[in-house]
Structure 1
Amino acid sequence: MRRVRYEHSGGPEVLFHEEVPVPEPGEGKLLVRAEAVGITLPVVRKVRESGRPVPLGGEVAGEVVRAGKGVHGYAPGDRVTGLCFGHGYAQYALLRAAMASRIPADATARDAVALVRSGVVALGALEAARPERGESVLVTAAASGVGHLALQLARLRGASRVVAAVGDPAKAGFVRSLGADAVVTYGQESWGEPVDIVLDAVGGALLTPAVKALAPGGRLVAYSSGGGTIEAYDLLVGGRSAIGFQVAMVARNRPRRYAAWIEDLWRLFGEGALRPAVHAEFALEDAARAHATIEDRANRGKVVLMVR
């Protein structure tokens, strides 16, 4: 089978293709013939920054070929999606059955990788803030695969005002089309009227203005892999709080909640209330171009590899 990997850190140019045997599913895993793979910013960052090569994981959707020992409820031919922690940029990938979910009959693999994982992160981060109807929400990286869904979910959960924060003002039209009431850019001195909730996917130096954008009693939910620090004094002023969110912990420790989130996302998708956007599709062989799109912050929605 074909797969993509790298041997040393760098930009998209370090990715290359190779032919390897199809893997065998171990205990608790599914072997899936991939149809679509979602590119994530954490994986792109690992290629650029990691000292040692790691497998290119990601959101995979496709058809079950074989189930490993101890797997129940899945059979060959079932269409599933899930997060691959091993080699996901490949014709065949291994998924943990516990973190896999079925794709509805009226949805495509492309829909699945644009909706499920990014949607679970967006929905989980929003719920971590314990939003109340009528509160205001600001989303950073609002045009990203997660951010563009978070904008819509905030509105669906009763936000009175939704603010999109982006790095490029050219993305304003895209985020407004998804329901953003206002758009701010990272370099602005002020992000406007304070908000009750900030959902931050950027981290780093952006944490300081994100905290300062909070109204008294406001909550910042950080789910970025970008690191960064928050000054305790900035939280003390106005009684603000910061919350860390990691979806993998929910999947492991609260599987029923994780499954309920996925069910909710598919319901909203089926009703036409939640619209996952795919910025571009690339062939597996064009993974380098897909990574370049993410690194350039050019995407409006999800970037997807289609495996043919």
Structure 2
Amino acid sequence: MRRVRYEHSGGPEVLFLEEVPAPAPGPGELLVRAEAVGVTLPVVRKVREAREPIALGGEIAGEVLALGAGVTGYAVGDRVTGLVFGHGYADCALLHTAMASPVPAGASAVDAVTLVRSGLVAYGALRAARPEPGETALVTAAASGVGHLALQLARLKGARRTTAAVSDTGKADFVRALGADEVVSYDAGSWGEPVDYALDAVGGTLLKPAVAALAPHGRLVAYSSGGGTVEAYDLLVGAKSVIGFQMGLIARGQPQTYERWRTELWELFLTGALKPMVHGVFALEDASAAHAVIEARANTGKVVLVP
């Protein structure tokens, strides 16, 4: 089978395709023929920054080819999606049943990788903000794979006004079509009217303006891998708060919550209330081009590899 790998850190140019034997599923694992693989900013960042090469993992969707020892609830031929911690940029990947879920009829593999992991992060970050109907919301990276879903979910959960913060105002039409009332660029002097809560997927230097955009008693949910710091005084003067959110903790520690959120996302998708958007579909051998889109922050919606 084919697999994308790299041997040293760098930009998209360090990725290459190799031929390797298909792996055998271990206990509790499914061998999945990958029909779609989601490309995420954290993985792109790790390729550039990690001291040692890592396996390119992430969300996948496809058909079960084989079962490992002790697997129940799945059969060969089932369509599944889930998060892969090993090699996911490949024709076949190993998916542990703890991270797997069925793909319902009426949904494609691309739908699955666009919705499930990114949607779970968006939904979880929103839940961490404890939104109340009628409140106002800000979403950074609002055109990204996670952000465009967070923007829609905030509206679905009762936000009366939503502000989309984007890297390029050329994305304004895209986010407005998904429900944004206001669109601001990261370098704008003001991010508009203060909001009750903000969902930040960027971190770094954007944390300061995101905190400044909060109304008194506002909440900022930080779920980015981009780091950054917040001044305690900036929180104190407005009685503001920062909440960290990490999806892996929910998946590992609260599996019932994880499953409930996943079911709710599929229901929203199948009723047409939530619309996952795809920026582009790339062949496996074009993984470097897919990473280049993410690095340039050029995507509007999810970037997907199709082996």
TM-score range, shorter chain: over 0.9
Identify unmatched segments of 5+ residues in structure 2: none
Matches within 5 A, 1:1-308: 1-307=1-307
Give the gaps of 5 or more residues in structure 1: none
CA shift, 1:29, in A, is 1.4
Deviations 1:200-242 (A, max 9, x none): 0000010011011111111000000000111111111111000
**Alpha-carbon shift at residue 46 of structure 1 (Å):** 0.5
Deviation at 1:30, TM superposition (A): 1.1
Counterpart CA distance in 2 for 1:80 and 1:255 is 17
Amino acid of the structure 2 residue aligned with 1:64: V
Alpha-carbon distance, 1:184 to partner? 0.6
Partner Cα distance (1:73, 1:235) in 2 = 48
Identity %: 72
Matched residue count: 307
The SS at the match of 1:32 is: strand
TM-score by length of 1: 0.99
Larger deviation, residues 157-166 vs 65-74:
65-74
What SS does the corresponding residue of 2:184 show, helix, strand or coil?
Answer: strand
What is the one-letter code of the residue matched to 1:200? D
| TM-score in terms of structure 2 length | 0.99
Deviation (angstroms), 1:70: 2.5
- SS of the residue aligned with 1:202? coil
Counterpart code for 1:8: H
What is the RMSD of the two structures over their aligned residues, measured on CA atoms?
Answer: 0.6
SS at match of 2:118: helix
Query: Could you tell me how far apart the structure 2 residues matched to 1:91 and 1:275 are?
Result: 27
C-alpha distance in 2 between matches for 1:293 and 1:10: 15
Residues 157-189 of structure 1: CA distance to partner in whole angstroms, max 9, x if unpaired?
Answer: 000101100010100000000000000111011
- DSSP-derived class of the 2:94 partner: strand
Where has structure 1 moved over 6 Å in runs of 4 or more? none
Tell me, in whole angstroms, the C-alpha distance in 1 between the residues paired with 2:5 and 2:275. 31
Deviations 1:126-165 (A, max 9, x none): 0001110001010000000000000000000000101100
1:301 CA displacement: 0.1
